[in-house]
Structure 1
Amino acid sequence: MNTPFPPPPAAPEKKRKLWPWFLGGCLTLIVLGGLAVAAMFYFGAKAVSAGGKEIVAQVPAVQEHFGAVTDAGMDFGAMMEASQAGRSVMIFNITGEKGEGRLVIETDQATQAFKSATLTLPSGETLEVDAATMKQLQALQP
């Protein structure tokens, strides 16, 4: 008489590994956090640049020598170099209808009040800003 073979043993249940999912979730959160920080930096820099453009465009000496201002972004690299040299300055790279130049505003380190300013014209000439323009800059100071 034939005897049937015993049924094959049941396959052991595979245990689900959670660590790949956990690691993937952590990496996703890190990437999203990095993107959020980059977005905040980008939009913050844009806001500072737009504010700088508004301030610089209101200065009559700038309007006279550059025409309508199309861009006036802050030069953070030059500001860091000046800071390392012990100077407290705000530097704006100005682009206008008549060319490009720079506005350098010296500030008091203790009070951050504007002390003096120089304007580099598209021709390369450097002008010391007069007292009336300095008063206007101080009035625009945040």
Structure 2
Amino acid sequence: MNTPAPTAARPRRLWPWVLGGCLVLVLLAVAALVALGWFGMKMVGETTRQAVAEVPLVQEHFGRVEDVGMDFGGIVEAGQAGQQAMVFRLRGEKGEGRLVITTDPASGEFRSATLTLPNGEVHELDQRTLEQLKALQGGGLPPG
């Protein structure tokens, strides 16, 4: 009988599997962070949409507000101008515009809010609307 000679088992290389597993975990963590950031931005936009949807100036010039999102370009522009501001892009049935809320750098309190209409006009929002935005920012109910 001819029996084949036993061959030495090749050592398995574990490091490619460990490296691949780590890469998959990192990709999953990045995807989770991106999803969480996107969800948070949508929540801020929805809260802002609810706050400005009842403003008569917004109803008149935008119609029903369909979407509100952060305008990162506007935030950068405000920073370059020496202001600390949150800038939102508003889109309604009648057009698009911007809501700029300037804040106090030290406390983060809202100072003022301006609304740029689809025709380019800029209007300062009244104190009542600013108070509504402040209440919603803090997670409270807007004053009635």
Structure 2 length as normaliser, TM-score? 0.80
Q: Does the C-alpha gap of structure 1 residues 136 and 126 become closer, same or farther in structure 2, counting only changes over 3 Å?
A: closer
1:120 aligns with 2:116: yes
- Structure 2 distance, partners of 1:82, 1:13, is 66
SS at match of 2:44: helix
For 2:131, what is the secondary structure of its paired residue? helix
- Give matches, 1:50-65, under 5 Å: 50-65=46-61
Alignment map for 1:126-137 (pairs within 5 Å)? 126-129=122-125, 133-137=126-130
Give the Cα–Cα distance (whole angstroms) in 1 for the partners of residues 9 and 104 of structure 2. Answer: 73
Counterpart AA for 1:112: G
Contact 1:49 1:72 in 2 (8 A): yes
Looking at CA atoms only, which structure, 1 or 2, has the larger radius of gyration?
A: 1
Shift of 1:88: 1.4
How far apart are 1:97 and its partner, in Å? 1.8
Letter in 2 for 1:11: T
Aligned residues with identical type, % of pairs: 51
Kindly report which structure 2 residues correspond to 1:49-88, keeping only aligned pairs within 5 A, or say none.
49-88=45-84
**d(CA) in 2 for partners of 1:53, 1:122:** 16
| Structure 2: gaps of 5 or more residues | 138-144
**Structure 1 residue 50 displacement after superposition:** 1.3
SS in structure 2 at match of 1:14: coil
Q: How many residues align?
A: 135
**Could you say which residue in structure 2 is the equivalent of 1:16?**
12
Q: By how many angstroms is 1:8 displaced?
A: 4.7
String of CA shifts for 1:84-105, please: whole Å, max 9, x gaps.
3320122221111221111222
Q: 1:124 to 1:9 in 2, by over 3 A?
A: same
Q: Which runs of 5+ in 1 are unaligned?
A: none
The secondary structure found in structure 1 opposite 2:9 is coil
C-alpha root-mean-square deviation of aligned residues, in Å? 2.1
